[in-house]
Each structure stands twice: as C-alpha cells, then as structure tokens.
Chain A
Amino acid sequence: MDTKKKFNLSLGQLTIPIIAILILVVFNLIRDPSFFSIGITQNNDGNSVLSGNLITVINGASELAILAMGMTLVTAACGGQDISVGAAAAIAGSAFVKILKSGDSISVGTVILAFLFACVVAMIFGAFNGTLVAVFKIQPMIATLILYTCGRSIAYWINGGATPTVQSSIITAIGGFIPGIPVPTPVLIVVIVAIIFKLVFHFTSLEILTQSVGINGSAARLNGINSTFIKLLSFIVLGVCVAVAGCIGVSRLGLINHETLLIDIEMDTILAVAIGGNNLGGGKFKISGSIIGAYVIQMLTITLYAMKVSSTDVKAYKAIVIILLVVIGSPVVKAKFEKLMTKLRSGKAKETVKGAE
C-alpha cells in the first residue's frame, strides 16, 4: 500500500498515462506475446530496418506525438484547444509539396526550403488562430473552427485540385528510413522535437510563463507578463509542430491528399493531451504526459488492428477505452480514490495500534 502511494506521488500527473500503457502491454502479453517481437528486415531499398508491431506503434504515433506537444502548450496557455491542426497540416503539407514540385529535381536544399516555407505558412495560420484567441478573446474552439472548416479547401486550392505525388529518395528517407539507420526517421524527428522543447523550457522561462497565464491570465498580466503574447506564441509554436507533422505525413507516402492527410487527428491530439493528465482548462502541464498519451492512443489502435477488429468498429472500441481512462483520471474519481486510501490507511494504523496494545 505504501509503495503504491509513493508510486502515485512520484509520478503525479503521469500516473494515468503510464498505467494505461502498462495495461495495454500486459493485455497484449496475455493475448499474444509475439506482438512485441522486433525483427530486422531488409526493406525494398536494401536497408536493414527494424520491424514489428512496437515499431509500427512508435513510428505511426509520430505525427500525433508532435502535434500533442504543441497542443499541450496551447491548452495550458489558453485553456482551450485548437481543432484545426488536421486542416492546417493539410495546408502545410500542400505548401511543402508545392515547393518540392516547383523545380525539376529535388535536392536536399529544395527539401529544406520547402520545409521552411511550410513552417512559415503554418505559423501564419497559427498566428491567425492565436490572434483571434489572444487579442479578440474568442474561445479557442470557436476561433479554430474557422480554419477547421475551410482549411482543407485552402489546401485544395494550393494543390490545384489534384493529389500531387512527389518521387524522391530524400522524401522517402524522411517518411521512412535513412539508409544505414534502422530506426524510422519520423521517430527520430519526434525525439528531436522533444529535445528542442526540453531545451527551450530549460533555458527560457516559457514553461512558467505559460502556466501562470493559463492559471490566471489577469493575475499574470498584473505581474508584468504579457499574456496576449504568450497565448499568441503558443499558437505559433503549435503552427511549427503542425508543419513538421504535415511534412512527415506527406513524406510517408510521397503524396498529398488534402482530404485525407492526417484526417481526424485533431481529436486524437486533444485526447492525447487529456490522457496525459493535463488540465484541459489550462494551467499546469506536462509535455511528457501528452507524448505518452499519443503512444497510448496509437498502441490501442494497433492492438485493435492486430486483433482484426473491423476498422469501422475500431473507433467505437477506442471510445470505450478512452472514456474509462478519462473518467479514472478525472479529479472526482481521484479525490474519491485518495479518500479511500487514507481511510484504509487509518484503519490499518488503528489495527496496528490495537495490536500493540
């Protein structure tokens, strides 16, 4: 009991996501231990690469994890969520492809240029959302509903109505594997983004500032924090995350389909933030929680696929598990649980006292 309590304390906010991922691991171990087998196979480009369900989970969750990091910041600062990330990613992806296809051949330089362009485009749209939220004080969900509705039309407009494809070994390397490295590139990108977040939080006071703005914006302003700027900044940071995710999504297949690129990802992203134990009303946050949340969602999906659940049913099953997770993680249940714990403990303490007598 004591160890459990300590465990609870030491993990704090991360308890729920970690327990969730452990449950999924145990469930899969019982169901089929080979789920966890990792092998090395030769892919069709002649590289030795890691393969297996676990790799699929970690690789497939990359876009979600990156978006979840940005979304956590927005959630913390604004106390609301951006529901336009999927549409914005389609725009960023289209911008990326537009530049890639502008030249005759694709070199590393073009890819970097295209990526930077995608970043700028996504940041502008992020700033648009951010301005609506921070300056005009529109509720985030309403403000971002605009881009959610028209974002894919804008992407369509950029693409000129087609689903352009790009064929290049560099793009394949970004979406798949870099020759000689067995780890999928998207996974490496997630690690890089996470490290950048860590470094920024370490060397700047962004984390504290965001938290204080989220907890009480006016109080923060009275203390000399420019809360408007912090909110705007959080949306711009999310914009960069959106661009990264969009570019990965495009690179995976070398194709941009404005209708299906990262479709419905906004909901999964918000879920990842929620499962990560972050308060959706803003304030304190842990980016690591959201990252774990993203992997929980992906692991759940892949588990269901491995069980050959029909993909139309997958969403329903996912919903059930997520309801459970969110309810268990809710403050009401947590408080009840803690009460129960103290009761049990005091009961035990009494017993020991009795025993001593």
Chain B
Amino acid sequence: MKRAKTLLLVFTLVMSMVIACACDSKKSNDGNGSNNNTANTSNTSSAKIKVGVVNNPPSESGYREANVKDMEAVFSSANGYELKTAYSLKNDDQLQAAQGFITEGVDYLLISAAETTGWDEVLKKAKEAGIKVFLFDRMIDVDASLYEAAVVSDMAKEGETAVNWLLSQNLPEYKVIHIQGAMGSDAQIGRTGALDEQFASGKMTKVVQQTATWDEAEAKKIVESVINSGEDFNVIYAENDGMAKGAVAALDEAGITHGVDGKVIVMGFDCNKWALRELLAKKWNYDGQCSPFQAQIISDIIQGKKSITDKKIINEEKGFDAKTLTQADIDTYGLGE
C-alpha cells in the first residue's frame, strides 16, 4: 500500500511535469518578447537595413503564423535586411521589446500591437531617435505623425469582396444559410456586414442566420436543422473554414451536392491550405482571406519602390474562386499545412 502510494505520488509529479512542459512550450512561444529573440540576427554586414518587428506570437492563430513567416521571408538577409523579432500577446512585453529595439538602434520599427493604447511614449522616443515606425495589421491610438504608415486590413472589405463574388455568380435566386463566428469579433462583424446589406435590400434571402462561435460541430447542427426542416437553400456562407467544413459534412450526409456544378455554393474564410485543397477539388466554391501579407508593402516603401499617399494603407484582400484556383496559389497563400 505504502509503495503504491509512493508510486502514485511519483506519477502525479511526472504528470505535473508534462503539464508544466505543455504550458511552458506555449509560454516560450509567447514569452519571446521579454527576452528579445535575436536568434536570427546576423551582424556580419553593417550595410544591411536593421528592422525590428514587434508582433503577436505565431501560436496565436493560423493568420499570425502566416504573418510571422511572411515577415521573416521578406525581411531576410538575402533581401538586404537584418531582422530582429519580438513576439508577445501582452502589451507590456511588446512595449519593453520596442524600447529594446530603440536602444539597440534599429532603422525601422514594425509594430502589430496587442492593445491599441499605451504606445505614445515609445513612439515619441523612436521619433527622437530617428527610427521610422510602421504599423501593420492593427492600428494604434496615437497621433498619425508618430508613424510613417499603417498597413492594415479592412475587415468590412473582406466581406464585401466575398459578397461581390457571390453576386457575380448571377444565380436566379440566393437562399443563404449564414453561419457566423463568435459574435462581436472583428472578423465576424466584417464578414457579416456585407451580407446583411444584401438581406436588407432583398437581393438575397436569409434562410437562417446563426452563430456557431467558430465551432465546426455547431455549424453542422445548424445546417442539419435546416435540412430536416425541408427548407430550400443554395448558398452556405460560413465565416471561417472550419464551420464551412462542418456545414459540408451535413450536406454530405444528406446527399446534397455542393461546390462547382453542385446544388449548393459553399463559401468559407481564412484560406487554410486544407480548405483551398477542397476548392481545388471543386467541392467548395470560394474562400476569402483577411490577408496576413503586409511585409512586401512595407519593404517596398522602405526601399522607395512605393510612395505613401495616405498613411493608412488598406491591404488588398484576397478571395479565391474554385474555378481559377491553382496549386501555386495554395502554396503561396494557404495558411497552415
């Protein structure tokens, strides 16, 4: 008995270690910010442009993962840059990291802030030090004189791009099942807005509009309930890829055809690689993306290839049509694996 207890104690401790490891591995991703990750810094050439990037950690989402990779690819030493990165979900850590970059003396500071407030001081210091600041992905509540330009996404435009594509399909009628993301999130508001306009104008009919809070299984339930009620529909507009997959599972079980040449048009968002492959297989019709690729635009500005007319630069949103999608698109724009 005594020995058994000791064994169990050891077991518990081991499990705690496992849990600690799991939490740690996450933390080490999140926490890089505090100990400015300079692993990919090379001090070989002084002619290189020094760029400090303060970003959210890649573990935040597939979007961020692609965003971080894009930054690393564009600001590579091959392209004449020396990149320093700091990732954190915490505004404080980010501020500290930015301070660090200023002290180190980078030429450019690129920021995607965790929070919109608290950046005045740091940006003023940067300006005094003659460091040019670019904001990407997210805006900050500061005077526009403190930064060169902000390359951001317009969530509403993303919805518009998708809805315009849908309108261009010239269906005789639009009976839409609209599966929303977590209510109140930026992505949900942007992706819902344009479609709501169409419902209001009467161009499209709302069969059902429900939130599945990004949950695939919930999306499936919503579509199943419509199928069971016998109501007719010909468009599924899901606000992310996972929910579109859930909806398609319901269609498959009910024997309803979908995709190119199918009865139901399937639309998703995020452009995960696996979702784009569904498009390539013509099982889905459209996938929209809130573009995580701002690096090239900023790089062009730095190198003088692009001039700034408006400080707020809206990043072009991508949308892919199953009919025109190529494998190359998947490799370039797809998120995840």
Contact = CB atoms under 8 A, between A and B. Distances in A.
Interface of A: 34-35, 41-45, 49, 51-53, 56, 60, 124-125, 127-128, 131-132, 135-136, 146-147, 150, 153-154, 156-157, 161-165, 176-177, 249, 252-255, 257, 259-263, 301-302, 305-306, 308, 310-312
Given A150-B19, A253-B216, A56 B228 contact: yes
A241 B310 CA distance: 58
B33 interface: no
B242 A257 contact: yes
A44 B227 CA distance: 14
Contacts of A249: 217
Contacts of B58: 161
Contact of B8 (A34, A131, A147): A131
Contacts of A310: 210-211
B104 interface: no
B215 A305 contact: no
Interface stretch (B93-101, B163-171, B243-251): B243-251
Interface stretch (B73-81, B218-226, B285-293, B314-322): B218-226
B255 A44 contact: yes
Contacts of B183: 312
21 contacts: A41-B255, A43-B253, A60-B221, A127-B11, A128-B12, A132-B12, A136-B12, A150-B23, A154-B19, A156-B26, A157-B21, A157-B22, A162-B65, A162-B337, A252-B217, A252-B249, A260-B214, A260-B216, A263-B215, A308-B208, A310-B211
Interface residues of B, number: 52
B257 A44 contact: yes
A42 B255 contact: yes
Contact of B272 (A163, A262, A263, A302): A163
Nearest to A53: B228
A163 B26 CA distance: 16
Contacts of A135: 5, 8-9, 12
B210 A255 contact: no
Given A128-B15, A308-B208, A255 B253 contact: no
Contacts, number: 129
A302 B217 CA distance: 13
A60 B223 CA distance: 13
Given A44-B252, A44-B255, A255-B245, 9 more contacts: A35-B228, A52-B228, A132-B12, A157-B26, A176-B249, A253-B216, A261-B217, A306-B229, A310-B211
Interface in B38-64: 58-59, 62
A163 B253 contact: no
B336 interface: yes
Contacts of A263: 215
A249 to B, nearest CB: 7
Nearest to B224: A56
Contact of B220 (A132, A161, A252): A252
B221 A161 contact: no
Q: List the 9 closest A-B pairs by CB distance, nearest first.
A: A305-B225, A154-B22, A128-B15, A260-B215, A44-B252, A165-B274, A311-B210, A42-B255, A157-B22
Contacts of B71: none
B310 to A, nearest CB: 35
B26 A162 contact: no
B135 interface: no
Contacts of B246: 253
Given A41-B255, A44-B255, A56 B62 contact: no
B129 interface: no
A161 B11 contact: no
A289 B220 CA distance: 27
A305 B222 contact: yes
Contacts of B131: none
B235 interface: no
B293 to A, nearest CB: 19
B254 interface: yes
